[in-house]
Amino acid sequence: MKRTAPILILLACLLWPVAAQACSACGAGREDRNQKAFLSTTLLLSFLPLGMIGGGLWWLNGRVRERFPDEFVDRDA
Amino acid sequence: MVMHITDPAILELPRRRKLTENGVLGMALVVFVEVMFFAGFISAYLIVESAALPGLWPPPNQPRLPVERTAFNSVVLLASGVVLAFAQRSFLRRGAGTRRLMGIAILLGAFFVVFQGAEWLALIAQGLTMTSSQLGSFFYLIVGAHAVHAVAALIGLGFAWRALASGRLTASFFGAAQLFWYFVVLMWPVIYALVYL
């Protein structure tokens, strides 16, 4: 079992690129322009929500500092 | 058994301070979802557009979208957002001109929606329909979804305007209505740039 495990892992790794073809950004675009559209929209849909969450946290941080400057004074003292 | 709090230290607790109004926070979450809703539509549109054969987008047998007239209408919508920002400043200062500014913003927004409706009628008469082509399907889906949001936001602003007239407008409601309108205003240039240009 100890000898066969690395071989099985290696085979699984070899199968990965085939699985990646199921990803629309990797395999669906037949032409360069179409491939770029898939890639750019995948990036948009991946990072837009993260950017909005990050922006919300950044705003929240600024708002806390502005509205509650003395909020943690007792705790930090 | 009824308990009465008599401890002066408890009775004199300061009111809970808020980071933002409840309505604004709730609307921010709605806007987050709506941004992703439009991002999904726009992504699908870009994929279909990129898959078209060279020279075949927009489809040759379909009317051209009214780029110049819609550019003018876009300026009207942006102006509505700017006027509403002035209305908010006036509201915070309890200025007398808030209601007038809000009214102007609502009228500009209503002009945008009516103008878009007129453009739609012209395009349908020229043969661009939901089923005439992929351009037509995406155009009415994306621009139509935006128009529905614009109408909903205008209704919200209308309620805010009425509440202001009777002295019942809260900062929470006004902030929420305002945030939704800003979303409608700022989403439009993105749609215009991607669909019309």
pTM: 0.80
The residue-averaged pLDDT of A9-13 equals 83
Chain A residues whose CB is inside 8 A of the B20 CB are 63
Backbone angles phi, psi at B66, to 5 degrees: -75, 85
| Tens-place pLDDT, residues B101-111 | 999 999 999 99
| Mean pLDDT (chain B, rounded) | 89
Contact yes or no for B185/B153 (Cβ under 8 A): no
Beta-carbon contacts of A45 under 8 Å, excluding residues fewer than 6 positions away, are B36, B39, B40, B43
How many contacts (CB atoms, under 8 Å) link A and B? 44
Q: Would you state the structure tokens that stand for residue B160, as one six-digit string? A: 């805010």
> Locate tokens 């008599």: which residue?
B6
Q: How far apart are the first and last CA of chain A?
A: 60
Question: What gap in Å lies between CA A61 and CA A71, rounded to an integer?
Answer: 13
AA letter at B144: G
B2 lies in some domain: no
Q: Would you state the structure tokens that stand for residue B121, as one six-digit string? A: 């009628």
Asked if the model's pLDDT at residue A74 lies above 70, the reply is no
| Tens-place pLDDT, residues A17-73 | 665 666 666 666 567 888 888 888 989 999 999 999 999 999 888 888 888 777 666
Chain B residues whose CB is inside 8 A of the A44 CB are 39, 42-43
| Tens-place pLDDT, residues B163-184 | 998 888 898 999 999 999 999 9
- Range of the structural domain that residue B123 is part of: 8-54+61-196
Structural Rg of chain A based on CA atoms: 24
Asked if the model's pLDDT at residue A14 lies above 90, the reply is no
Which ranges of chain B does DSSP label H, i.e. alpha helix? 8-11, 22-51, 67-92, 98-126, 134-165, 171-191
Question: What gap in Å lies between CA B122 and CA B30, rounded to an integer?
Answer: 33
Which CATH number do you get for residue B157? 1.20.120.80
B30 lies in some domain: yes
ipTM of the complex: 0.74
Q: Smallest CA–CA separation between A17 and chain B, in Å?
A: 23
Three-state SS at B166: coil
Q: What is the pLDDT of residue B147?
A: 95
Whether the CB of B43 is below 8 Å from some CB of chain A: the reply is yes
Domain count, chain B: 1
